[in-house]
Amino acid sequence: MEYRFYRELKHNYLVFEDEREVTSNSDYGYRIAESGRIKGLVPCAKRSVNGRKYLYYEIGSMQSLRDRYSARGMDITQLLGLLKAAKDLLEEMSEFLLGDEALVFNSGSIYTDLSTGEYRFIYCPSFDESKTFSEFAMELTGLVDESDERALSLVYRLCELSSDNGGFVYEAIEEAIGSAEGDDVDEDAEAPAEENAQQGVVLPDTDELFSDSSLEKEDEEEGRKKRAKQRLGGKLQLLLSLLFAAVVGAMVYIRMNYRLSSEENMLSIGVMLISAVTGAFALISGIKEMKSAWRGKDEGRSEDKDKAKVSEDDFWGDDFSDEGDSSFHNGDFAEAKSTYYRDVINGYGERFGSREGASKRNTGVIRKRNIPLKSPEPSADLETVVLDDGGNAEPALFSRNLDKTIRIALDKFPITIGKMDGCVDTVIKDESVSRIHCRIEKEGERFSILDLGSTNGTYRNGLRIPAQQRTFIEEGDEIRIGRVCFDCR
C-alpha cells in the first residue's frame, strides 16, 4: 500500500490510499477508529477525492519510533511504556470486538507524543505489508539503548515469546511485561548492600567524612553561624537601646507639657532612670557584639590568607629563597643553575594537572624571579613541512545567521537535529526549529537530509523538502532548518 505525508496549515497527515473493497467488518473497524473512542489509536478520517478513497491519519507533531529513538535508544522505562500502551490498546479494542490483525506493527507507523510520552498506533484493515509482530520485535532490538542491559534483556525476551506464541500478540506482550516486572521485584528484594550504588543509594565515604578538609569546613560553617548569631544579637541590643531612649524622651515630653502630682513626678523620674541605665547597657552590649562579629570575620579572612600563603610557600619550597642570593635580583645566572631551577619547577607540574598548565606557570615564575629564558636558535638545516590541504576531509554544516556559529560535523550517522535536548544529536535552541526537526544520513558516498514533519520545514537552496522524502545535499548547498541557515562546505 502506498502512503505519503501531507501538510495542511498546521496539521500533519499520513495518507493511505485504500484500493480494496470495503466489507462490513472493515467498515465497522473504520467507523470505530474514526469515532475516536479508542484513545490509543491515531485519529483518522476517510476522504474521497475523484472517486478514490483515502485514509487521513492526523499525526500532528508526533514522531515515529524510528525517528524518535534513532539518536538515543529506548531505555527500560520507555520500552515498558510502549509494551503497556500496546497491551492497554488491545484490551480496549477487544471491548469493541476488534482484533489485532488491523494494527500496523512497525517502527515507522507507531507514533509517540513528545509532550506527554504517550504512544499511538495506526489501525488500518487494508494495510497489506505482511510484517508479523515477531518481525516488529526484532526491529525493536535496533532501537533500544545498548547500554541498558535490562532493556536489551526485555526486547530479546519479547522476540522469544513472539516467535513461540505465533500470532497471539497479547499473550506475548503480557508475558514479557510480567517477566520484566518480576525481575524488578527480585532485584529489589535480593539486592546486596554492595550494589546500593547501582540502585541510586550513595553511602558516605568515612575517609571523606572525617578528613581534615571536611572538619575544616565544619569549623568554618560553625564560625559563620556563630558570627551571624552575634550580629543578630547586637542588632537586637541596639534596637532595645533605641526603645529605651524613646521611653526617656516620652517621659521628658510629659514632664514638660503636663502638671504632675508628687507621686507621678517620682514615678516618672524612676522610669527615666531605669530606662536610661538599661538603654545605656543595651547600647554598650550591642556595640560589643557587633565588634566581636566583625573581628571574627576579619580573623577568618586573615586565616584564609595565611593558609593560602603557607600553601604557596609549601609548593615552591626553599629552592626559591631570595635570602642571601642577589642573583635573583640581578638576573646573572649560570646556565647550569638556570637549568636546575627549571627542572625543579617542571617537577612540580603535576600539581597543576597538566604539563601545559605547569609550563605556563613556570614561565611566569621564571620571569618573576629574573631567571633568563633560553630560546632555541633556528637551524638552517630544518626542512619545511608540507601541510595537508584538507581535501579529503568530510564536509560540515556551518550556521551563518546566528550570534554563535553552530558546526554540524558530517562524520557520524544518522544525525538527528532539533531543539529537544536528550532526543536529538545536535540541539539548535531556536523557536523556529521543531523538537525533532530533520535527520541527515549517508548513502554510499553521498549525504541526504530527511525532514521529519517539522512545523517550519527544511529547505535546500530555497526549495522546501517534502516531509519524509530523502533529498541529497552537496558541498556549496544552502540548508535552512526553520530560519537557521547553514552552508555545506
- Alpha carbon distance 271, 255 (integer Å): 12
Q: Is the peptide bond before 43 cis (omega within 30 degrees of 0)?
A: no
Please, which residues bridge with residue 112 across strands? 63, 119
Question: Higher-confidence residue: 342 or 124?
Answer: 124
| pLDDT tens-digit map of 180-237 | 877 665 555 554 545 554 444 444 454 444 455 555 666 677 777 777 777 787 788 8
Amino acid in position 1: M
At 323 the pLDDT is 46
| Alpha helix stretches (DSSP H) within 7-75 | 24-35, 65-68
Question: Higher-confidence residue: 163 or 300?
Answer: 163
Q: Taking the model in full, what pTM does it have?
A: 0.56
- Alpha carbon distance 109, 114 (integer Å): 15
Residue 451 has pLDDT above 90, yes or no: yes
At 426 the pLDDT is 93
Taking residues 155-167, report their average pLDDT: 83
- Alpha carbon distance 480, 459 (integer Å): 5
- Alpha carbon distance 399, 397 (integer Å): 7
Q: Which own/partner pairs from 100-107 qualify as long-range (CB within 8 Å, at least 24 positions apart)?
A: 100/133, 100/169, 100/170, 101/125, 102/26, 102/29, 102/127, 104/129, 105/131, 105/132, 105/133, 105/136, 105/169, 106/131, 106/136, 106/139, 107/64, 107/65, 107/66, 107/136, 107/139, 107/140, 107/143
- Alpha carbon distance 5, 312 (integer Å): 68
| pLDDT tens-digit map of 266-308 | 888 888 889 888 888 888 888 887 777 777 666 666 555 555 5
CB within 8 Å of 292: residues ≥ 6 apart: 230, 234
Angle at 158 between CA 117 and CA 79, to 5 degrees: 15
Amino acid in position 429: K
Taking residues 470-476, report their average pLDDT: 93
| pLDDT tens-digit map of 76-94 | 999 999 999 999 999 999 9
At 477 the pLDDT is 95
- Alpha carbon distance 295, 318 (integer Å): 34
- The residue to which cell 474521497 is assigned: 48
At 369 the pLDDT is 46
Phi-psi region at 200: left, alpha or beta (left = phi > 0; alpha = psi -120 to 50): left
At 432 the pLDDT is 94
Average model confidence (pLDDT) across the chain:
77
Taking residues 62-82, report their average pLDDT: 91
Cell readout for 113 is: 507524543
Q: Are 9 and 2 in contact (CB under 8 A)?
A: no
Residue 315 three-state SS: helix
At 320 the pLDDT is 45
CB within 8 Å of 278: residues ≥ 6 apart: 240, 244
- Other Cβ atoms closer than 10 A to 149: 10
Residue 438 has pLDDT above 70, yes or no: yes
- Alpha carbon distance 450, 448 (integer Å): 7
Taking residues 93-121, report their average pLDDT: 89
Cell readout for 375 is: 630560546
At 298 the pLDDT is 61
- Alpha carbon distance 24, 33 (integer Å): 14
| pLDDT tens-digit map of 358-406 | 444 444 444 444 444 444 555 556 677 665 555 556 789 999 999 899 9
| Alpha helix stretches (DSSP H) within 75-211 | 76-95, 133-140, 149-164, 169-190, 206-209
Query: Highest mean pLDDT range out of 112-126, 128-142, 191-205, 461-475?
Result: 461-475
H/E element, 46: strand 44-49
Residue 13 has pLDDT above 80, yes or no: yes
- Alpha carbon distance 341, 346 (integer Å): 9
Taking residues 172-177, report their average pLDDT: 90
Q: How confident is the model at residue 22 (pLDDT cuts 50, 70, 90)?
A: low
At 379 the pLDDT is 54
Burial (CB < 10 A; 0-12, 13-18, 19+), residue 335, is exposed
Tell me phi and psi for residue 410, to 5 degrees.
Answer: -95, 70
- Alpha carbon distance 251, 16 (integer Å): 96
Closest CA to 144 of 132, 157, 133: 157
Residue 127 has pLDDT above 60, yes or no: yes
| pLDDT tens-digit map of 246-271 | 888 888 888 888 888 888 888 888 88
Whats the size of the chain, residue-wise?
A: 489
- Alpha carbon distance 473, 187 (integer Å): 50
Q: Are 345 and 366 in contact (CB under 8 A)?
A: yes
Taking residues 64-85, report their average pLDDT: 92
Kindly state the DSSP code that residue 100 receives in the 8-state scheme.
S
At 190 the pLDDT is 52
